[in-house]
Amino acid sequence: MPGAALEIEGLSVRGARGRALLDVPRFAVAAGTALAVRGPSGAGKSTFLHALAGLVPAAAGAVRWDGEDIAALPEPARAAFRRRRVGFVFQEHLLFEELSAPENAAIAALYGPRAGRDAVHGRGRDRLAELGLDPGETRRSDTYSGGERQRIAVARALATDPAILLADEPTASLDRANADRLADELVRLAHEEGRTLVAVSHDPALHAVADRVIDLADGRITEDAAP
Amino acid sequence: MTDLWFALPVGVQDAAIALALLLPALGIGAVALRGFRVGPLLRALLRRQAWISVVFTALIAVSVALGAALIAQERGLREGTARAAEKFDLVVAAPGSEITAMLAAVYLQPADVPLVDGETYAEIVAHPRAELVAPIGFGDSWQDAPVIGTTADFAAYLSGRLAEGRLFARPYEAVAGARVDLSVGETFQPAHGHGDAAQEGMHDVDYEVVGRMPMTGSPWDRALLVPIESVWEVHVLPNGHGPDWDRVPGPPFDPAHFPGTPAVLVKADSLGGTYVMQAAFTDGETMAFFPGTILARLHALMGDIREVMSILAVITQVLVTAGVLAGLTMLTRLLARRLALLRALGAPRRFVFALTWSYATTLIVLGAAIGLGLGIAATGAMSAAITARTDILVEARLGWREVHLVAGFVSLTAALALLPAWLTMNRPVMSDLRG
Ligand SMILES: Nc1ncnc2c1ncn2[C@@H]1O[C@H](COP(=O)(O)OP(=O)(O)OP(=O)(O)O)[C@@H](O)[C@H]1O
Ligand SMILES: [Mg+2]
């Protein structure tokens, strides 16, 4: 899996009534890096991840992944970029409650290219198993616990074999042992498989294993260092 | 090309039209769903909105049922009344309302109509083109069955072969219609009048049932056919014959002892003969008419009503469709969070479009199918009720017209469902995702 390099230039994201949510003059991440993002609540961490995925429009500036400025793309092209390259773990997990865990994990098989469908199903099941969930379960995903749902969301993000993994508090609902396991696994995905990981997290265990940790406050990067 | 089309059997033409009407929906489906698997999410959405889905489907079903039932019912009624009048080529009556005379003579709905006298009756019988001429006499009933006086020849003509027994050959014998609850050998005493006004015990006579008619699909199935002479006698009228009558009922009647008949049922030797006789007896003293023509006029009138009903059915359908679409648009708002999630995950907009469209179309197709079934059931029940009340056999079956209506409805609404689908496709992802 060739990773993707990130380069941000003059990025500005604004919310309702022009409120500045994010201001990143210059920022770069090498392909295959495990980057952790931390900061107080409301600092703009989720907004940062959304901007990296092309989910929020930029008021100004560029977000380049491997040189391609996704901020300049129209929405269908940004969706295609997410579909092909990004695995996203939402802060609220956001599963399809009526579907089972394996159906959720392999959701991309419903709309992705026909040729890749079996692979998506296979990876979805494998990831569920790796994360300690039974890939044969058929019960609705809303019957799972919070931590289990979080792991289903991680499996879904990984089922498409993405070059870029954007995870918003992926270990927040997990117990210590599970959180440590997942943190190690995410970093391994970057180090061994070359994926670029950007994980928003309050979890010191994740900070400890990441290559780089940045601090966000009021929509600005205030610290940028190796742990 | 047109020759080829008209050379096809009607059933094939109708099936082709139905298919052609469905084609737009199928085409839209094929294009919209190409490359996607909407099944699992479609089921999830239907389950998530189970109640709303059920209500929508029911709404569509009821409107489709209404349209289909109206059309099927009207056709069944038209065919049924025509079938009941089939055997009545020409009716001669005293001048007055043709419809009243027809209702009395053909559909046995008696009314006070002036009588045709013996002289005129003899003239009709003597006409060279006349093949079968019969008087008719009302007035009595047994339970719900009217007792109708006529001749054995007419009874034979009406029933074709008897289902059982023989025709009446003596004054107080009777032939029972297929729906009369009397078997051969049983006797009955007629009451004077009909229904609630019937007075029992006024006539101290007993008829014996000697034969039973097969089903004719007309009000005559409920009737008891007896010699007209007995009806006259029971009402203390001359019996149509001179004093030296041998008491074998039937023609010839003696004009001097003929009490009159409200209508004369005539069969001429041919179609041409029927017209000749109609002309011959349309004068100041009598009117002669073809029940078939009267019916055709009534049906033509009903045809206008039918047009109005069809238009009403279509308008109802369109209104329901508009309501359904408005509802669907709101419904898709309820689904907005799920749809936004799909787009956030990278699903193409066209997938969200396909999902919303197939959700709407599933409700439409399901509703239309249930509606068609409901329509058939409703027509069946209505037909049975009409048959029970009028004894006119109304058979309402699912016809191609209804299928075409429903197929057109499905295609139209499936096309209209593109609108809410298109609207969902263009909604902002992030604000929908926040909910
Ligand atoms: N569309 C918007 N319009 C206005 N303000 C917004 C908008 N989206 C986010 N915000 C605000 O921007 C700030 C950053 O939000 P964000 O969700 O990125 O925070 P966060 O760092 O992820 O916080 P948490 O740790 O609580 O998840 C918050 O104050 C939030 O209320
Ligand atoms: Mg957040």
Give B385 Cα–ligand 1 centroid separation in angstroms. Answer: 68
Averaged pLDDT score across all residues of chain B: 84
B147 and B65 in a common domain: no
Higher pLDDT, B397 or B426: B426
Last residue of a domain, one of B249, B268, B289: B289
pLDDT at A1 over 60: no
Q: At what angle do helices B349-390 and B291-334 cross, to 10 degrees?
A: 150
User: Is position A116 within any domain?
Assistant: yes
Averaged pLDDT score across all residues of chain A: 92
Q: How many contacts (CB atoms, under 8 Å) link A and B?
A: 71
**Residue of chain A whose alpha carbon sits nearest to that of B43:** A98
Nearest to B347 among A79, A117, A156 (CB): A79
Pocket test for ligand 1, best of A12, A19, A21 (most atoms within 8 A of CB): A21
B239 and B110 in a common domain: yes
User: Is position B205 within any domain?
Assistant: yes
Instruction: Please tell me the distance from the alpha carbon of residue B167 to that of residue B27, in angstroms, as a whole number.
Output: 64
User: Is position A70 within any domain?
Assistant: yes
Instruction: Give B78→chain A minimum CA distance, Å.
Output: 52
Instruction: Please tell me the distance from the alpha carbon of residue B141 to that of residue B391, in angstroms, as a whole number.
Output: 15
Q: What is the pLDDT of residue A78?
A: 94
Q: pLDDT category, A2, cuts 50, 70, 90?
A: low
User: Is position A57 within any domain?
Assistant: yes
CB < 8 Å to B44, chain A: 96, 98-99
CB < 8 Å to A50, chain B: 430
> Over the range B39-75, which residues count as b (16 or more CB within 10 Å of their CB) and which as e?
ebbbebbbebbeebbeebbbbbbbbbbbbbbbbbbbb
CB contact under 8 A, B349 and A84: no
Summarize pLDDT for B185-198 with one digit per residue, the tens.
998 888 877 666 66
Taking CA atoms only, the protein residue closest to ligand 1 atom 5 is: A15
pTM of the model: 0.77
B370 and B247 in a common domain: no
CB contact under 8 A, A76 and B35: no
Is residue B398 within 8 A of residue B72, CB to CB? The reply is yes
- For residues A127-143, average pLDDT: 93
Instruction: Please tell me the distance from the alpha carbon of residue B321 to that of residue A17, in angstroms, as a whole number.
Output: 40
User: Is position B358 within any domain?
Assistant: yes
Q: What is the pLDDT of residue B419?
A: 87
- For residues A132-153, average pLDDT: 93
Summarize pLDDT for A167-212 with one digit per residue, the tens.
999 998 889 998 998 999 899 988 988 899 999 999 999 999 999 9
Q: What is the pLDDT of residue A208?
A: 92
How many structural domains are present in chain B?
A: 2
3-state secondary structure chain A: CCCCCEEEEEEEEECHHHCEEEEEEEEEECCCCEEEEECCCCCCHHHHHHHHCCCCCCCEEEEEECCEEHHHCCHHHHHHHHHHHEEEECCCCCCCCCCEHHHHHCCHHHHCCHHHHHHHHHHHHHHHHHCCCCCCCCCEHHHCCHHHHHHHHHHHHHCCCCCEEEEECCCCCCCHHHHHHHHHHHHHHHHCCCCEEEEECCCHHHHHHCCEEEEEECCEEEEEECC
User: Is position B102 within any domain?
Assistant: yes
What is the position in ligand 1's atom list of the atom closest to the CA of A47? 18
Share of chain A above pLDDT 90, in %: 80
Last residue of a domain, one of B256, B289, B322: B289
Contacts of B420 (CB under 8 A, 6+ apart): B325, B328, B329, B331, B332, B356, B360
Pocket test for ligand 1, best of A14, A23, A38, A45 (most atoms within 8 A of CB): A45
Would the CA dihedral through A121, B428, A4, A186 be positive or negative? Answer: negative
B402 and B336 in a common domain: yes
Summarize pLDDT for B135-164 with one digit per residue, the tens.
888 878 888 888 888 988 888 888 888 888
CB contact under 8 A, A109 and B37: yes
Q: What is the pLDDT of residue B346?
A: 93
B94 and B77 in a common domain: no
B281 and B302 in a common domain: no
Give the domain range for residue B74: 8-83+298-434
Q: pLDDT category, B305, cuts 50, 70, 90?
A: confident
Q: What is the pLDDT of residue A111?
A: 92
Give A33 Cα–ligand 1 centroid separation in angstroms. Answer: 25
B36 and B123 in a common domain: no
- Residues in chain A, overall count: 227
**Residue of chain B whose alpha carbon sits nearest to that of A15:** B431
- For residues A38-55, average pLDDT: 94
Give A46 Cα–ligand 1 centroid separation in angstroms. Answer: 7
Give the domain range for residue A170: 6-225
B137 and B250 in a common domain: yes
User: What is the complex's ipTM, to 2 decimals?
Assistant: 0.94
Nearest to A50 among B35, B47, B430 (CB): B430
B217 and B118 in a common domain: yes
How many structural domains are present in chain A?
A: 1
Nearest to A55 among B36, B349, B429 (CB): B429
Q: pLDDT category, A40, cuts 50, 70, 90?
A: very high
B185 and B100 in a common domain: yes
Q: What is the pLDDT of residue B203?
A: 65
User: Is position B51 within any domain?
Assistant: yes
CATH of the domain at A130: 3.40.50.300
- For residues B353-370, average pLDDT: 91
Highest mean pLDDT among B79-93, B214-228, B396-410: B214-228
Q: What is the pLDDT of residue A226?
A: 66
CB contact under 8 A, A108 and B345: yes
User: Which ligand is the nearest neighbour of the Cα of A16?
Assistant: 1
B250 and B223 in a common domain: yes
A145-159, A177-191, B285-299, B335-349: segment of lowest average pLDDT = B285-299
- For residues B192-219, average pLDDT: 77
Last residue of a domain, one of B243, B262, B289: B289
User: Is position B1 within any domain?
Assistant: no
Amino acid at B219: P
Summarize pLDDT for A88-131 with one digit per residue, the tens.
999 988 999 999 999 999 999 999 888 889 999 999 999 999 99
Q: At what angle do helices B10-33 and B400-416 cross, to 10 degrees?
A: 20
Q: What is the pLDDT of residue B201?
A: 61
B314 and B416 in a common domain: yes
Pocket test for ligand 1, best of A41, A46, A214 (most atoms within 8 A of CB): A46
Q: What is the pLDDT of residue A227?
A: 60
Tokens encoding A152: 């289903």
CB < 8 Å to A98, chain B: 43-45, 47-48
Summarize pLDDT for B376-390 with one digit per residue, the tens.
888 888 888 877 777
Is residue B291 within 8 A of residue B88, CB to CB? The reply is yes
Is residue B106 within 8 A of residue B91, CB to CB? The reply is yes
User: Is position A1 within any domain?
Assistant: no
Q: pLDDT category, B271, cuts 50, 70, 90?
A: confident
Pocket of ligand 1 (CB under 6 A): A 15-16, 19, 21, 39, 41-47, 91
pLDDT at A160 over 90: yes
3-state secondary structure chain B: CHHHHHHCCHHHHHHHHHHHHHHHHHHHHHHHHCCCCCHHHHHHHHHHCHHHHHHHHHHHHHHHHHHHHHHHHHHHHHHHHHHHHCCCCEEEECCCCHHHHHHHHCCCCCCCCCCECHHHHHHHHHCCCEEEEEECEEEEEECCEEEEEECHHHHHHHHCCCCEECCCCCCCEEEECCCCCCCCCCEECCEECCHHHCECCCCCCCEEEEEECCCCCCHHHHCEEEEHHHHHHHCCCCCCCCCCCCCCCCCCCCHHHCCCECEEEEEECCHHHHHHHHHHCCCCCCEEECHHHHHHHHHHHHHHHHHHHHHHHHHHHHHHHHHHHHHHHHHHHHCHHHHHHHHHHCCCHHHHHHHHHHHHHHHHHHHHHHHHHHHHHHHHHHHHHHHHHHCCCCCCCCCHHHHHHHHHHHHHHHHHCHHHHHHHHCCCHHHHHHC
Summarize pLDDT for B12-43 with one digit per residue, the tens.
888 888 888 888 888 888 888 888 888 899 99
Rounded to 10 degrees, the C-alpha dihedral A68/A70/A75/A76 comes to 30
